[in-house]
Amino acid sequence: MWMKLGGKLETLAFFEDCPDDGGHQLFATGNQKERTIYTATHQKDRELIDGFLPIKEMVYDIQRLKLYRLYRKCKSNGIEVHGIKTDCVLVKNSDHLKLLEAFEKRIGNKVGWLKIERDKRLFGERLEMVENEEQHFPKNEVNTLEIRDEYDKEELGELNQTNNKLLYLAKDAGCGKSTASWQGYAKEEVVFVSTFNA
């Protein structure tokens, strides 16, 4: 059956057998006697312009999420994880029984199941957090200087020459802080380094 918008209306059973406990799992509410729900599918094709990069990133993100869940499951069962490789976590051999208890329903030789491998090693050097030593910076004495005439370039130049370091403050942008800061110097001696927002 096709809908007016070009979509397709299909039926979908909302009960599914669960192999673990032999029961059923309810995925949606609906007519309990009919045991079906309806789905509307609308398909639209478009040329792939970004290549397969977004798909690759999505696959890697899903894999990282699976590894994180595996790590969390190990931690919650008292298993210390010593490393993470491409598709596995590394634990000590002494935690073998804990692994069997924690993942007993998911360990096997089927595709997608977990398996335990021995004699694997970590690669690279161990990552350790290095803490920086606490730095004690000298306190500078701050003097507030007021300008009598902000348009007087000679006064600004004299302040710049007689004071080693100055910080010009103003409440609004475009007040002339940059212009005031290079007074008393030749233009070719001054270089402004500032952020640029595109």
Q: Say what the pTM is.
A: 0.40
Q: How far is CA 198 from CA 14, 174, 192, in A?
A: 52, 18, 18
Binned average pLDDT, 10 residues per bin, the chain of 198 residues: 55 55 49 63 75 85 90 91 85 88 86 84 74 83 83 88 82 84 85 70
